[in-house]
């Protein structure tokens, strides 16, 4: 049997299984790749929010990364929760030595509004992590946190993407899911651009509040598609279709915001 494409996630753990490392590995499996992980933090987390978070030492992150990359090898990498400047700088240095596509999801807050990135780490994200990115995938809150650009309508997505590209990623995918349904004409619209090409990714907006893990899922889906050889526009379009289906199939779990359904295609 041939070896499947290998994708690596560098992110935090979600004990509730809806986001973070758990969401990434489920997504990578669903999209036909072998998912591997470098754990950066452990969280106590459920449908109601994040009750606690414990960062791993930089040497533990570095050792996990070297262990996987030096023996098994990777064909794409995705990063998620990197809570401190020390972790951001450690991971950025590791990524700078790789010659594979890198998807940077600059996680700032959880779906419930819990902070997951220290204010002191923002400069390291801007100057060290984003320049390693093949594609960066910030949501609107993360765009505002990193660039100061506030997106209030669809036309603002171009200005937001340009501000992100100024930090050095080759492509920016600015996710417009936080726009109101009226502002975005009832659609979930994202803009992917490298400063020259533009790809507007549109999908129906589903009336479903069980959307925990959407950002992690989209970024890891892009990484999985890149590991399989897609171009960035192809990978982003395929990932958008996958996460839209996962949102539509999202289910209630616990008393708060439930997860998207990473296995929706397997049950189709």
Q: Enumerate the active-site residues.
A: 175, 211, 213-216
Q: Are 238 and 230 in contact (CB under 8 A)?
A: yes
Kindly list the distances between the CA atom of residue 20 and the CA atoms of 23, 32, 143, 239, in Å, as whole numbers in the listed order: 5, 19, 20, 16
Beta-strand pair 6-14/171-175: unpaired
Q: b or e along 24-36 (b: 16 or more beta carbons within 10 Å of the residue's beta carbon)?
A: bbbbbbbbebbbb
* Distance of alpha carbon 233 from alpha carbon 239, whole angstroms: 10
Please choose, from the candidates 65, 13, 35, 29, the residue with its C-alpha nearest in 3D space to the C-alpha of residue 213. Answer: 13
* Distance of alpha carbon 224 from alpha carbon 23, whole angstroms: 13
Beta-carbon contacts of residue 168 (< 8 Å; ≥ 6 apart) = 130, 131, 133
Give me the residue label for tokens 């501000």. 163
Secondary structure letter of residue 249 according to DSSP: T
- The shares of helix, strand and coil residues in the chain, as percent rounded to the nearest 5, are 35, 25, 40
* Distance of alpha carbon 2 from alpha carbon 12, whole angstroms: 30
């Amino acid at each position: 049997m041939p070896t499947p494409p290998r994708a690596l996630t560098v992110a935090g753990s979600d004990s509730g299984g809806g986001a973070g490392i758990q969401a990434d590995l489920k997504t990578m499996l669903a999209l036909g790749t072998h998912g591997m992980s470098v754990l950066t933090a452990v969280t106590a987390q459920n449908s109601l929010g994040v009750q606690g978070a414990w960062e791993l030492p930089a040497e533990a992150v570095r050792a996990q990364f070297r262990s996987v990359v030096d023996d098994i090898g990777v064909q794409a990498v995705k990063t998620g929760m990197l809570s401190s400047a020390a972790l951001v700088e450690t991971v950025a240095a590791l990524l700078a030595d790789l010659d594979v596509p890198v998807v940077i999801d600059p996680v700032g807050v959880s779906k419930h509004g819990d902070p997951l990135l220290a204010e002191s780490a923002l400069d390291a994200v801007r100057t060290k992590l984003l320049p390693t990115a093949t594609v960066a995938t910030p949501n609107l809150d993360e765009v505002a946190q990193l660039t100061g650009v506030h997106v209030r309508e669809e036309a603002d997505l171009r200005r937001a993407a340009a501000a992100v590209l100024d930090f050095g990623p080759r492509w920016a995918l600015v996710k417009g899911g936080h726009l109101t349904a009226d502002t975005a004409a009832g659609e979930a619209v994202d803009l992917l651009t490298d400063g020259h090409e533009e790809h507007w990714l549109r999908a129906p907006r589903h009336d479903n509040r069980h959307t925990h893990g959407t950002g992690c899922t989209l970024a890891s889906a892009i990484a999985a598609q890149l590991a399989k050889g897609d171009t960035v526009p192809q990978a982003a379009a395929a990932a958008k279709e996958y996460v839209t289906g996962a949102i539509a199939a999202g289910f209630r779990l616990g008393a708060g915001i439930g997860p998207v359904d990473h296995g929706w295609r397997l049950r189709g």
